[in-house]
Chains A and B, each alone.
Chain A
Amino acid sequence: MAIKGLEIRDISATRYAALGISKVPRMTKLIDLSTCIGCKACEVACMEWNDLPVDETYRATGGYQTIPDLAHNFWNLIKFNEVDNGNGLLWTMAKHQCMHCENPGCLRACPAPGAIVQYTNGIVDFVQENCIGCQFCVTGCPFNVPRISPKNQKVYKCTLCSDRVAAGLEPACIKACPTGCLQFGTKEQLLEYGRHRVRELRSRGFKDAAIYDPPGVMGTHVIYVVPYGNHPEVYGLPADPRIPALVSLWKGPLKTIGSTIMLGGVTAALLHYLTYGPMEVKPDTDVKKQR
């Protein structure tokens, strides 16, 4: 029996029966970009809780950000950015990690049964033992999050500390955040809190402050309060993320068409067999030589 909240709601490349009737709160992380001070406590907490091996080859790349990008062994990154937006200088610090989409592109794209799951509490998790290393999830993710490990060819990303959450704890990054920039709760709670923050920011003159909860993926379980809501790209957030057309096509109409074609092929073969009988192989065909 699955732990409460970790019952599987959706699963890659598998038909799965709908779950029972109990309603599970959809857990969400809120990142208030107006109060992030770029202290990297979340990065450290993530590294320590998940026991991620430290890659010694990282070095400064300019600015205060010393780790260039998310990695298979680095799931939580604050991106620093100096921006002159006309109102003076901005020094943005924005935490990036898996967004835990309501409609996860990775899961849609994944051909490996059971490699990607979405739990009833909203967390999207990778199950590495089922991963085949095809990286379709990388293509499927509109936020460019999954990273493949060069060591075992499996894909990794933030789990939203599904283990902690299942035990009633907040994710490690949220526990470590000193300013309250990171909050954890149900989606409803945090949307309400986010709206309150947006009102406060607007009263301070950030007239475009907004919540970032992109509808293109049916919303996310990591939402942001963005002071310059009209320019989320300033913080490294895509303005209108959507599951890539290829994945939607492949798993939508193409899947049906593909299945139809495949079914047609099988039917045709059967008809051919019934009509013409089995193909006879001549004994002098040198199969070995062809290899």
Chain B
Amino acid sequence: MAMGGNPAENHPCGFKWVIEAKKKRGAKLVCIDPRFNRTAAVADHFVQIRAGTDIAFLGGLINYILSNGLYHEEYVRLFTNATFLVKSDFSFGNGLFSGYNPASGTYDKSTWQYQQDGSGHALQDPSLRDTDCVFQHLKKHFSRYTSAVVSEITGASVEDFERAAGIICSTGRPEKAGTIMYALGWTHHSFAVQIIRAAAILQLLLGNIGRPGGGVNALRGHSNIQGGTDHGVAFDKLPGYLKSPTADQQDLKHYLMENTPKPLSPTSMNYWSNYPAFFISLMKTMYGNHATLENDFAYHYLPKADRNYSWVYLFDDMYQGKLEGMLTFGMNPVANGPNSNKMISALSKLKWLVVADCFETETAQFWRAPGIDPGEVDTEVFLLPAGIFAEKDGSFTNSARWAQWKWKALDPPGDAKADQEMLARIFLKVRELYQEGAGAFPEPILHLSWPYSRPQDPPLEEIAKEINGHAVADVIDGKGEVVAKVGEQLSTFAHLKDDGSTSCGNWLYCGSFTEKGNMMARRGRSDPSGLGMYHEWAWNWPLNRRILYNRASCDADGRPWDPTRVSIMWDGTRWVGDTPDYKADSPPGAGLGAFIMLPEGVGKIFAADFVEGPLPEHYEPVESPIKNPLHPEVSSNPLVKRFVSDKDGYANPEDFPIVCTTYRLTEHFHFWTKHITVNSLLQPEFFVEIPYELAKQKGIKDQDLVRVTSARGSVEGKALVTKRIKPMRVGGREVWQIGIPIHWGFAGRVKGPLANLLTPTAVDPNSFTPEYKGFLVRLEKV
């Protein structure tokens, strides 16, 4: 199932495996999208839905599974929290879960918790009949998502929906497996995280998590965005998905207590109980000898976030004149941020701006944007020429968590430098200023560990070794044996300690660069599994486990659900096959939970982790042509963050009746390749995809110039009139959708309007990603 993503278009190299599954296994491909796209062109079944109605569609699938008994029952009992009992006062009604506080606009989550026994373990009902159990809540919650309701909300016909449901839900049979591929089509919504939650529930019900051929697969948009995420590039994360300290976590003890979960089941391995070992090893990497038991491992050096500092929030601050300067690496916010006009105005309020890039991007020349008078902009802009990926070594981590080492092909041209050299030089200069006594709180800078052989240009291999980690003192295991001598590279995060005897820059990457060398640089081609696992090709986290939670690929006795596709299996003494994501010698009879990272020990159908509810619910996009048919009074996500300023307008459907969605094309990579000749030739011009019937109604012909206007801005481009977007009936009325590819801007070899002139600054309350897809516009012929 390709939904919320267009893998043939945007991940053509990965899509070869879809084609191979079709050819070799007779796999069926179902494509669900607002447009008949390149993936749809080779799909077995295509369903058109209105942009932003994914939860309704997925909710319909969940209901279809439950009402037709198509779930993988043994899997659900063994590996999910379907049996867990939720507190009796939990409820849902009229679009809101229990605990909503209208004054603050937030939830008190106390009713979303499990009923617990004296030792803190959740109560369970193996029969699944208790009205408080997760399974019954699930049934009740999704019973509203009938085929007719799905059709009314999404615009898909009942027949199209049910045909898709028939194919997808057939994978609940134990010998079958089904996978989901998604991308920005799911993440670019004001309820994005809940869409992915719905997908997780669907796959848990069908028994498709932890199995070869299963999973909910995020197709990442950059060669190394997975690596970036793993290493904590977001404001609220530290490397390895550790949490950034918050303002109320002023001391280490408090911080560790709040981030180290307690098991919710007696059979839970609860691997995050090792949080202190991961965190303190990170502090040893950052501060070396300056991180000691006595000074709480330099915890007080870390900033404590008092609020949200994700980048959309920062640009809002900037627009309000609260920021002085900005450094931007590997990012072009004028082009890829929402509401470009606001981005440009925000940058013009800075005193200085540093852009490191290999091209002169829109951000680097924002003062030359159409409609801006450069004389009015006082910002001093520095453009640092950066080397590109082929001009440095390092690793790429792909969507399957494989870190693959790469080698430099050539030196950066002219004065261009690799990012690490620019960062290192800036750091060393800042440190020099602190050494001269300029700073208020110098220790976090002065004490930062900087052990590289070339301080001005740290070799990436040395950084990779540092990320892997080493023994600061002899590491002794539970049996009293030395498992790593002082100075040695560590081989596994199981050896990490919370006493300062280990250093590790990212616990997930422990094992990537061991005493045996750079595991990421391996290129072994043997594949005894026959499933394409290639365990000696590069290295993936965690510990070269190709499939996460692979214990769930076997039944209660440790036998694979599908003997023809074995991930791991119990051989009588231990788990063999892929690296087990499990205690390797724990017999099936012991019943240790398969989901070792979760306090429950099982996969979460019901999850109190997110801000707007423990179960996904369909909410309309912030700008929608209709009121939510399920609960018109709570139409969109009650917890959505809508930014408000004189540049942040929001549309009503009377004035802006057309749904618009943005997307990417095979021929281009973001806002980058419009600087390159061949890509520019293959897609030279911005265009607007318009349904044939709508074009006819408006007297628009193919190639005509059209204008698209939202409450924020407007763009002009050539019409691409197509039958690949059909008219829809939604909420009892006719609704039109149009589509806009994003790749152009005012910089580059070919130019065109920025698609994000149109998009709203409304963000998902969990991930803080803007709603780039499914907003309202007006369309007219120029």
Listed in ascending order, the chain A residues whose CB lies under 8 Å from chain B are 34-41, 43-44, 47-48, 54, 56, 58-64, 66-67, 82, 84, 89-93, 178-181, 197, 200, 203-204
Q: Tell me, yes or no, whether B249 is within 8 Å of chain A by CB.
A: no
A84 to B36, CA, bound (A): 13
Partner-binding segment picked from B148-156, B164-172, B681-689: B681-689
The answer on a CB contact under 8 Å between B681 and A66 is yes
Q: Which of B19, B26, B720 contacts A35 (CB 8 A)?
A: B19
Q: Closest residue to B38 on the A side, CB-wise?
A: A37
Contact partners of B718 in chain A: CB under 8 A: 60
Interfacial residues of chain B within 688-737, with CB under 8 A of chain A in the complex: 702-703, 718, 720-724
A74 to B473, CA, bound (A): 64
The answer on a CB contact under 8 Å between B38 and A38 is yes
The answer on a CB contact under 8 Å between B19 and A59 is no
Per-residue contact bits, chain B 17-39, to A (CB 8 Å; 1 contact, 0 not): 00110110010000000001011
The answer on a CB contact under 8 Å between B724 and A89 is yes
Per-residue contact bits, chain B 649-670, to A (CB 8 Å; 1 contact, 0 not): 0000000000000000111000
The answer on a CB contact under 8 Å between B23 and A58 is no
Contact partners of B58 in chain A: CB under 8 A: none
The answer on a CB contact under 8 Å between A34 and B681 is no
The answer on a CB contact under 8 Å between B702 and A62 is yes
Contact partners of B682 in chain A: CB under 8 A: 40, 43-44, 66-67
The answer on a CB contact under 8 Å between B684 and A39 is no
Q: Tell me, yes or no, whether B16 is within 8 Å of chain A by CB.
A: yes
Dominant SS at the A interface?
loop
Q: Closest residue to A65 on the B side, CB-wise?
A: B682
A200 to B23, CA, bound (A): 7
The answer on a CB contact under 8 Å between A34 and B36 is no
Q: Tell me, yes or no, whether B645 is within 8 Å of chain A by CB.
A: no
Q: Closest residue to A203 on the B side, CB-wise?
A: B26
Contact partners of A91 in chain B: CB under 8 A: 36, 38, 40-41, 724
Also in contact, A179 and B16, with CB within 8 A (given A37-B8, A40-B666, A60-B687): yes
The answer on a CB contact under 8 Å between A38 and B681 is no
Contact partners of B666 in chain A: CB under 8 A: 37-40
A38-B666, A39-B38, A93-B38 given; name 16 further pairs at CB < 8 Å. Answer: A37-B39, A44-B682, A47-B678, A54-B678, A58-B681, A60-B684, A62-B721, A66-B681, A66-B682, A66-B683, A82-B723, A89-B36, A89-B724, A179-B19, A180-B20, A200-B26
Can you offer 10 A-B residue contacts whose CB atoms are under 8 A?
A37-B15, A37-B38, A39-B8, A39-B12, A44-B678, A59-B684, A66-B684, A90-B41, A179-B15, A180-B23
Most chain B CB atoms below 10 A, which of A34, A59, A91, A181: A91
The answer on a CB contact under 8 Å between B19 and A180 is yes
Contact partners of A56 in chain B: CB under 8 A: 681
Contact partners of B19 in chain A: CB under 8 A: 35, 179-181
Contact partners of B40 in chain A: CB under 8 A: 91
Q: Closest residue to B22 on the A side, CB-wise?
A: A35
Q: Which of B12, B42, B683, B722 contacts A34 (CB 8 A)?
A: B42
Contact partners of A179 in chain B: CB under 8 A: 12, 15-16, 19
Contact partners of B681 in chain A: CB under 8 A: 54, 56, 58, 66-67
Q: Closest residue to A61 on the B side, CB-wise?
A: B703
The answer on a CB contact under 8 Å between A63 and B16 is no
Contact partners of A67 in chain B: CB under 8 A: 681-682
The answer on a CB contact under 8 Å between B685 and A48 is no
The answer on a CB contact under 8 Å between A178 and B678 is no
- A-B pair count, CB < 8 Å, reads 99
Q: Tell me, yes or no, whether B677 is within 8 Å of chain A by CB.
A: yes
Also in contact, A204 and B720, with CB within 8 A (given A89-B36, A178-B15, A179-B15): no
Contact partners of B20 in chain A: CB under 8 A: 180
A261 to B683, CA, bound (A): 56
Q: Tell me, yes or no, whether B9 is within 8 Å of chain A by CB.
A: yes
Q: Tell me, yes or no, whether B13 is within 8 Å of chain A by CB.
A: yes
Q: Closest residue to A60 on the B side, CB-wise?
A: B685
Also in contact, A35 and B42, with CB within 8 A (given A91-B724, A178-B15, A179-B19): yes
A84 to B724, CA, bound (A): 10
Q: Tell me, yes or no, whether B411 is within 8 Å of chain A by CB.
A: no
Also in contact, A62 and B723, with CB within 8 A (given A37-B38, A178-B15): no
Q: Tell me, yes or no, whether B44 is within 8 Å of chain A by CB.
A: yes
A82 to B684, CA, bound (A): 21
Contact partners of B687 in chain A: CB under 8 A: 60
Contact partners of A35 in chain B: CB under 8 A: 19, 22-23, 42
The answer on a CB contact under 8 Å between A180 and B16 is yes
A181 to B20, CA, bound (A): 10
A99 to B36, CA, bound (A): 30
A38 to B8, CA, bound (A): 9
The answer on a CB contact under 8 Å between B667 and A40 is yes
Q: Closest residue to B24 on the A side, CB-wise?
A: A200
Contact partners of A47 in chain B: CB under 8 A: 678
The answer on a CB contact under 8 Å between B724 and A82 is yes
Contact partners of B677 in chain A: CB under 8 A: 54
Nearest Cβ on chain B to A24's Cβ, whole angstroms: 30
Q: Closest residue to A205 on the B side, CB-wise?
A: B44
Contact partners of B13 in chain A: CB under 8 A: 178
A23 to B718, CA, bound (A): 55
Most chain A CB atoms below 10 A, which of B26, B42, B683: B42
Nearest Cβ on chain B to A120's Cβ, whole angstroms: 32
Q: Closest residue to B39 on the A side, CB-wise?
A: A37
A58 to B667, CA, bound (A): 15
Contact partners of B44 in chain A: CB under 8 A: 204
Also in contact, A38 and B41, with CB within 8 A (given A58-B681, A60-B685, A84-B723): yes
Also in contact, A58 and B684, with CB within 8 A (given A37-B38, A82-B723, A91-B41): yes
Nearest Cβ on chain B to A140's Cβ, whole angstroms: 30
The answer on a CB contact under 8 Å between B12 and A48 is no
Nearest Cβ on chain A to B270's Cβ, whole angstroms: 42
Also in contact, A37 and B678, with CB within 8 A (given A63-B720, A91-B40): no
Most chain B CB atoms below 10 A, which of A56, A89, A90: A89
Q: Closest residue to A38 on the B side, CB-wise?
A: B38
Nearest Cβ on chain B to A89's Cβ, whole angstroms: 6
The answer on a CB contact under 8 Å between B722 and A82 is yes
Contact partners of A37 in chain B: CB under 8 A: 8-9, 12, 15, 38-39, 41-42, 666
